[in-house]
Amino acid sequence: MLVSALPHLDAAGYAPHTLHGETRAWVETNCYIDVWIEVLNALGLEPAACMGMVLANDFDGDQWTFYKPPHEDLAALYGLQVHELNVWRSILDNACEQLQRGRLVLTEIDAFHLPDTAGTDYRRNHVKTTIAMARIDTATQTLAYFHNRSYHQLSGEDFVNLFRVGFAHDPAFMPFFAEFVRLDRIQHRSPQDLAAIAKTLLRKHFERRPVTNPITAYLPRFVADIEALKPQGLAAYHAYAFANLRQLGSGAELAAYHLRWLEANGQGVLEAAAVEFTAISDTTKMLLLKAARAVMSKKPADLAPVLKTLAAHWDAAMGHLALALR
C-alpha cells in the first residue's frame, strides 16, 4: 500500500529552506523546529512567520527553553490544525491511516534507525528525535520523511526496525508521542497579510518574555556547569551544549531572521533589535567553542565576561522591541 500526503515531493530533488542554508550560524536548531521549517517550506508557506515565539525563551534551570511553534500560531498564520495522534494500534498503521487522508504525521522516533543521521546517531546511539512522515509504501518498505535540515527516504532494514514490522508483541514496549497535521484548511496568504498576523503574534510573545534577564540568571549556573563537565568529557558537554547553548543561540538567530522578515514586509523598523539578536547568536556560537576547549583542556577559563556581554545584548534587544511594539 502506498500512501502520501505530499505526492509531488521527491526526496532526491528536495531543496531545503534558506533557514537551513550553509550560511546560517546555526544550521540546525532543535528537531521539532527543524521539522516545521521544512514542512512549511514543502507546503509553499513561509517559516519565518512563526518564529516570534522565541522571544519567550528562558533559562529553565538545567536547560534553555526547547522552543516550539505553538499550535494556535500555526492555525492563525497558515490554517494548519495539529492534533495528537492516539497510537492505539501501531505507529505504522495509525500513520498510514492519516497519510491516506492527506495529513502529515509528526512522531518521536529513535534516531538509531534514521540514515540521515549517519556519522552521529545512525546505528550508534538510541536518541529520541522528531520526524514528519509524508509518504509510506508498505509494499517496498519505504518511508519519506522530514528530519533536521531536509527531506529524506529510508527503506529495508531501517523501515523494519523503525516500525517494528514483524516484531512479536512486547507488552513492555511504549510507543512514542505522535501528532497529525490537517491540511484541508491551509491558507496561502500574501507576505504582507502573513506579516501583519505575525506582528500581532510577536506582541503576544513579547509579553511572555522572561521577567528578568535570563542570561544573567544563567551566568553562575553556566560557570559551575563547565567545571562539573570537565571530568565527564566531550560527550557529556555535547549533550549539555545542545540543551543550553544551542537553544540560546539558535533561538536568537531565528529572532533576528523573523524581525528582518517582518520589517521587509512593512511591519515597522525592527533592525536595531535584530542586530542585538544576531550578536547573541554569533557570541553564543563562539562561546560554544570556547567552552568545549575549556572542558577538554580541564584548565581554568574565565567565561563569565562572555555571558555578561550576552546579557547586555539581551537587554538591548528587549529595549528596542519595547519601543518598536508600542
Q: How do residues 302-321 score in pLDDT, each as one tens digit?
A: 999 999 999 999 999 999 99
Do 173 and 251 sit in the same domain of this protein?
A: no
- What are the grid coordinates assigned to 197, written together? 498576523
Low-confidence ranges of the chain (pLDDT < 50): none
Do 167 and 263 sit in the same domain of this protein?
A: no
Would 190 be classed as within a structural domain?
A: no
What pTM was computed for the model?
0.95
Do 233 and 293 sit in the same domain of this protein?
A: yes
Do 260 and 122 sit in the same domain of this protein?
A: no
The predicted pLDDT at position 220 comes to: 97
The predicted pLDDT at position 168 comes to: 78
The predicted pLDDT at position 286 comes to: 97
The predicted pLDDT at position 166 comes to: 81
Do 239 and 311 sit in the same domain of this protein?
A: yes
Q: What angle do CA 75, 79, 81 make, to 5 degrees?
A: 60
The predicted pLDDT at position 303 comes to: 96
Would 87 be classed as within a structural domain?
A: yes
Q: How far apart are CA 178 and CA 89, in angstroms?
A: 12
| Domain encompassing residue 262 | 213-324
The predicted pLDDT at position 218 comes to: 98
Would 271 be classed as within a structural domain?
A: yes
Do 10 and 149 sit in the same domain of this protein?
A: yes
Distance of CA 87 to the CA centre of its chain: 23
The predicted pLDDT at position 96 comes to: 97
Would 303 be classed as within a structural domain?
A: yes
Would 298 be classed as within a structural domain?
A: yes
The predicted pLDDT at position 170 comes to: 81
The half-sphere exposure of 254 on its side-chain side, counting CA atoms within 13 A, is 31
The predicted pLDDT at position 18 comes to: 95
Would 265 be classed as within a structural domain?
A: yes
Sign of the CA dihedral running 283, 287, 288, 290:
positive
Do 139 and 259 sit in the same domain of this protein?
A: no
Would 261 be classed as within a structural domain?
A: yes
- What domain count does the chain have? 2
Only one residue has cell 514543502, namely: 42
Kindly tell me the burial class for residue 109, based on how many C-beta atoms sit within 10 Å of its own C-beta (0-12, 13-18, 19 or more). buried
The predicted pLDDT at position 266 comes to: 97
Q: What are phi and psi of 169, to 5 degrees?
A: -60, 130
**Cα 227 to Cα 239, 288, 326, distances in angstroms:** 15, 15, 43
Would 61 be classed as within a structural domain?
A: no
The predicted pLDDT at position 117 comes to: 95
SS (H, E, C) the chain: CEEECCCCCCHHHCCCCHHHCCCCCCCCCCHHHHHHHHHHHHCCCCHHHHHHHHHHCCECCCCECCCCCCHHHHHHHHCCEEEECCCCCCHHHHHHHHHHCCCEEEEEEEHHHCHHHCCCCCCCCCCEEEEEEEEEECCCCEEEEEECCEEEEEECHHHHHHHCCCCCCCCCCCCCCEEEEECCCCCCCCHHHHHHHHHHHHHHHHHCCCCCCHHHHHHHHHHHHHHHHCCCCHHHHHHHHHHHHHHHHHHHHHHHHHHHHHHHCCCCCCHHHHHHHHHHHHHHHHHHHHHHHHHHHCCCCCCHHHHHHHHHHHHHHHHHHHHHCC
